A = this chain, B = another copy of it.
Amino acid sequence: MKKILRINMDDLTFNEERVKSEYEYLGGRALTSQIIKDEVDPACHPLGKHNKVVIAPGLLTGTTAPCSGRLSIGSKSPLTGTIKEANSGGTASQKLAKLGYKAIIIEGAPLRSGLYVIKIDSDGVEIIEADGLKGMGTYQTAKNLRDKYGNDYSVICIGPAGEEKLSAASIAVTNIEGETSRHAARGGLGAVLGSKGIKAIIVNNGKQDKQDIISYKDEKGFKKLATDFAKKLVETKKVLTEYGTANLVEIINSLKGLPTRNFSVGQFEGAEKISGEVLRKRAIERKGRTGHPCQPGCVIRCSNVYKDEKGNFLTSGFEYETIILTGANCGIDDLDTIAKIDKFCDDFGIDTIDTGAAIGVLMESGLIEFGDREGVLNLLEEIRKLTPLGRIIGSGAEITGKIFGVTRVPTVKGQAVSAYDPRVFKGTGVTYATSPMGADHTAGNCLPGRGGYREETKDASKIKHYEGDKIQVALSSDLQVMATVCDSLGFCYFVGATLENMNIFAELVNKRYGLSITGKDMIKLGQKTLEIEREFNKAAGITEVQDRLPEFFREEKLEPSGNVFDVNENEIKKVFDFS
């Protein structure tokens, strides 16, 4: 895997470059962030021709390492103004890796306002005019392209939101079945792709698969280690396999940190109705699926297929964060309604988290009532029709708050906080506040039971998720670093951002590349990537002043715990002191 594909949308040309030696052992987020840092003017307009989109498989993507096929997409974000990496499951990343691509760099912007499809396969690369796809949802887009070019193609595409450059636009990636249910959802990267005139990138490694582009220095050793690791995951991640991420609904609710009605309380009276139990029951009853993998080689299989009462497909990968932000956070306790919202967002190509947060803010403004299911479905129609109100919502929670004069807006650096109230999950609050990506739980989610790599964070059982300043900052720091490592290797977050795994990851890298690095080196890679990201942000005008939560989290008690977010600000400033 030694090629970088550079696509210039100014003149619709491309070329393949040898990978610089500095990039050789970088992948995923480490690589996208490094390239964005090296090539993009931090002060550029995120939707202008100077921004770039970098798409990169992880360093271990394409290998037999389980759950290692995430696709990283990096850019300067139109939502946050920061550097951004969002990653997605689905099948495209493994195919890119197997075609020998370490990254795709998309730059420039076409003169004409049409749309293009980039076709990448073993025959090479083609940039194809595709104006006919204009305004098409992601599901239909993927279907059209796969009908035309073949079902062996994975599709990376945007919906109308991305074409319209809405700041909460996502980038969809097809799953095994060819559904656009997996998304690099956060930070508005779909708008950047839209600004380049790219509707879709389709990837098929076809014949190349047999050519052993994925090579190993110690193949036997690698595969043994990968198999052992997979076994361990199968054993320890059963809850995810059975209930999906929705298993968290009742847990987070019982811990009193479930965002409800625009983060005004921490427990939702309707939690049981939208729980993992109910989801699983309905998935089975309605002949959907549980334990559904989003990509080959996933042994956790946290995805599921959720159908409506009549057995029609609604969504796949019906996630906890979607359920809470568009459900509890809007006072909605009906899983079918929430699944419809999810389906819409996936199809239109917008982030469910920022959309749910935006609707919660609108509800707070009084435009519609909390719990008004019909009202929310009407709002989705506004988005679909791209009315001014729809465009506001599609631009995310922060702008929605500004336009409707709401001050209780749960965002950091312009991006919505996720489904863990930071007044209860204080380490996660530190992550929201400080992640170079804006508020993002996947950047380092400090849930109970999670430990870090340093002495004081190693023993998770000694950490209370709502107590202590230094410990919350330390744990957030450790988890942010280790999450960055996962994002860089292509590993799904659910394999675990743990110290134990850092050592396993290092061994896998060694056996693949003939290196002799350690878990500590993995940690250093994560730290370095975070530093690069923060350097970019600083040059983009984002400083540690922006590393804070909205004031209402510090000032309004969250009932029933009565907690506020009270982690000491000076301690928070030390979160990236790695020396």
A residues engaging B (CB < 8 A)? 42-45, 47-48, 50, 78, 164-167, 191, 194-195, 387-389, 391-392, 395, 399, 402-405, 407, 539-543, 545-546, 548, 550-551
In the assembled complex, the Cα of A389 lies from the Cα of B50 at a distance in Å of: 30
Which of A164, A167, A543 has the most chain B CB atoms inside 10 A of its CB?
A543
The chain B residue sitting closest to A165, CB to CB, is B405
Do B167 and A402 touch (CB < 8 A)?
A: yes
A sample of 20 cross-chain residue pairs with beta-carbon separation below 8 angstroms, ordered by A number, consists of: A44-B551, A45-B407, A45-B551, A47-B405, A47-B407, A48-B407, A78-B402, A166-B405, A194-B405, A388-B392, A388-B403, A391-B392, A391-B403, A392-B392, A392-B403, A399-B399, A539-B545, A540-B545, A541-B543, A543-B543
Closest 5 CB pairs of A and B: A541-B545, A165-B405, A388-B389, A388-B388, A391-B403
CB contacts (< 8 Å) of A545 on chain B: these are 42-43, 539-541
In the assembled complex, the Cα of A164 lies from the Cα of B404 at a distance in Å of: 7
CB contacts (< 8 Å) of A167 on chain B: these are 402
Give the contacting residue for A403; candidates B44, B47, B395; CB below 8 A: B395
Number of identical protomers: 2
Do A551 and B48 touch (CB < 8 A)?
A: yes
Which of A43, A402, A541 has the most chain B CB atoms inside 10 A of its CB?
A402
CB contacts (< 8 Å) of A391 on chain B: these are 392, 403-404
**A45-B550, A388-B389, A389-B388 given as contacts; is B395 within 8 A of A402 (CB)?**
yes
Do B551 and A541 touch (CB < 8 A)?
A: no
CB contacts (< 8 Å) of A541 on chain B: these are 542-543, 545-546
CB contacts (< 8 Å) of A191 on chain B: these are 405
CB distance from A517 to the nearest CB of B (A): 36
In the assembled complex, the Cα of A451 lies from the Cα of B387 at a distance in Å of: 49
In the assembled complex, the Cα of A164 lies from the Cα of B395 at a distance in Å of: 20
CB contacts (< 8 Å) of A78 on chain B: these are 402
CB contacts (< 8 Å) of A195 on chain B: these are 407
CB distance from A26 to the nearest CB of B (A): 26
